[in-house]
Structure 1
């Protein structure tokens, strides 16, 4: 089953790259250098557990790199490349220890939600996208704070779940698949969910990474074809992010990121307030 998942992930990655390269070559895209640096930093710390969507959203908002409407879809497509690399790494390191039914079910659930959500985000009003992103940022920052204050559930030692909890996990992953199109990452909510259900938190990583990789690729292909993304930022994040994932996974492996997380908390809360203000102004207009 693990070998089949890795093959599926490889084929999905090739299709994602083919569609992306075709669009980039057709439009003669030059990768954005600032986005490459952003991709390197955020995906390095994403591999170590910080997350990439929230700090990336905060940065592009501060720097005005993207219109608000394009932030979720552009970041999703850009961070999917590094997520695929993370998926391969974590499946190889820990995938064999996880119940294959749980692993495959969560991946398919997230993929289904991501494909449905890809159309929803492009059809939504700008203020609704802004509001959803703002809520996602608040949730992410609050989770970071809970981690730093040691309020997160410690988890258990299980590598699988009883059937009722497994079905609940599938439903949650479907919802997260829809929300990932709005710039809300699946890593932190999935980690909390599995920990509350008694699973060993380590075993959440192949589920999170494998789901994000395959679902992200599926949704990204839709976003690339729809065209409401900035390919300069997308290609920059990919070029900077993939090497950073490999360095974090195989060279650094672990480091104390508590102080960095406090900084991210402040920045992300501020970005959420700015995004919410824009949503309020757009809704009134």
Structure 2
């Protein structure tokens, strides 16, 4: 927790300094719309739905930012809310220390490598990558709802080959996170597949994101590959959403909402891929 606190302060200082440096040249989008988007998506993120795909869908639906900077905006804007979630769930739900630490470190290393690559990608490649990523996310959510994944077990830790597999898989998920692919759905599927307790998914997936996102986000900030205004608004709105979800609401019947989210994600994926296709045709 101490290390996570240091990472949080490091990220926040760089984010705020960059925002203040450009405060007179902010993007032409809405504080209210992006703030509400942040509140909604991070509220449900705290309840386990995931925020990247819904945030992408809403940002595109309300035309609040450009496709080119969506990956950076997602990572930067959701960093503080996700760290808040991690502090909450890592204290409440127990996971064996070696398993937790190994998977967190793997995710951070994956993000450090991935962010440097994604931040330099042209807009068309971002559209293609995110379109495919959203399709994959929708499939994972659909598969989970259909019961195609193992239901998990009672273990709160891994050893031997299972631990090695989990570490490698989380490294890959950490790197994909920087392309705008949410980690929650695939990480939860991984936890279930390896026979761990479903509850163990929360500290692992939220802790993974909390440790990797400051590292990845700082790279996006230094590259200027993110929407500053939207990121600040989503951070503020999202932080409020996390607090309300964690301490006031705690749980909701989310089955219908999950199906709605799957449909929205599919729609956004198709729009992304069509935009990329039009860009190729124009050439």
TM-score band w.r.t. shorter chain: over 0.9
In 1: Cα distance, 2:19 partner to 2:216 partner: 17
Q: Do structure 1's residue 110 and structure 2's residue 104 form an aligned pair?
A: no
What residue is the counterpart of 1:67 in the other structure? 66
**Tell me, what secondary structure is at the counterpart of 2:4?**
helix
What 5-or-longer segments of structure 1 have no aligned partner?
1-5
What residue is the counterpart of 1:214 in the other structure? 211
Q: Do structure 1's residue 132 and structure 2's residue 120 form an aligned pair?
A: no
Task: Check conservation: 1:70, 1:230, Cα contact below 8 A.
Answer: yes
What residue is the counterpart of 2:89 in the other structure? 90
Task: Check conservation: 1:146, 1:152, Cα contact below 8 A.
Answer: yes
What residue is the counterpart of 1:253 in the other structure? 250
The 10-residue stretch of structure 1 (147-156 or 222-231) with the greater mean CA deviation from structure 2: 147-156
What 5-or-longer segments of structure 2 have no aligned partner?
none
What residue is the counterpart of 1:18 in the other structure? 13
Q: How many residues align?
A: 278
What residue is the counterpart of 1:57 in the other structure? 56
Cα deviation for residue 211 of structure 1 reads: 1.0
In 2: Cα distance, 1:59 partner to 1:191 partner: 23
The 10-residue stretch of structure 1 (142-151 or 217-226) with the greater mean CA deviation from structure 2: 142-151
CA spacing shift, 1:189–1:130, aligned 2, 3 Å: same
Deviations 1:138-194 (A, max 9, x none): 122222223333333210000111211111111111111111111001111111111
What residue is the counterpart of 1:205 in the other structure? 202
In 2: Cα distance, 1:206 partner to 1:24 partner: 30
What residue is the counterpart of 1:42 in the other structure? 41
